[in-house]
Amino acid sequence: MTIARGDRIPSVPIKLVGAGDTIDTTSDAVLGQGLVVFFGVPGAFTPTCDTSHLPGFIANTAKFKALGVSKIVCGTVNDHHVTKAWAERSDAIGKIEFIADGEGNLADALGLSKQMAGMGKRFARFAMIIEDGVVRDLFVQDVTGVTVSGAPAILMALQSAQVTA
C-alpha cells in the first residue's frame, strides 16, 4: 500500500549522506521535523535523475527556503558510497541531504518501490511535502520524465498552499 496524504513517515533504518560523514539513522528522524520536501529517484547517475530531477531542486533551493522549507532530501536505492559520489559530483552537498536506501527498505515501507529492468528494486519517481513527519502532499510520476515530481511542480504546490492558508 502506498503512503498517502495524512500518513506518518515510517521509521526505517537508512544512511544519511550530507556534508560530513555518512550517518546511520532512521527515516523519521530525517524527515520528521519541520517542512520537508522529499523526492525519490530511481538511481544516482541515471540519465533523467542526473540531468532533470536533481538539478531542478538544487537550482531552486533558495525558493524552497523562502517558502518555509526547512530541508530538501533526495532518496535513492543506492549504497551510500554511490550516493555520496553523486551528491558531490552534482554540487548538491550543503543544499540537499541524501538518503541512501541501499536495500530499498524505505522504498518498500512507503509503497514506492518498483522493479526496473536491469536495475532491480528502485524508488518510483516521486516527490512529497512532509510537515512534522506527516505527508501533506504526494506526487508520483506516472509517465517517463519529470513533471509532477519536479521542482517547479513542488514549488507551485507550496505556493498554492500559502495562498489558501
CA 122 to the chain's CA centroid: 13
Cβ 43 vs Cβ 76: under 8 Å:
yes
49 is catalytic: yes
Query: Which ranges in the chain belong to alpha helices (H)?
Result: 27-31, 47-48, 54-59, 61-66, 80-89, 105-110, 151-164
Catalytic residue among 17, 30, 31, 49: 49
Q: How far apart are CA 135 and CA 36, in angstroms?
A: 9
Nearest to 150 by CA among 24, 43, 56: 56
Catalytic positions are 49
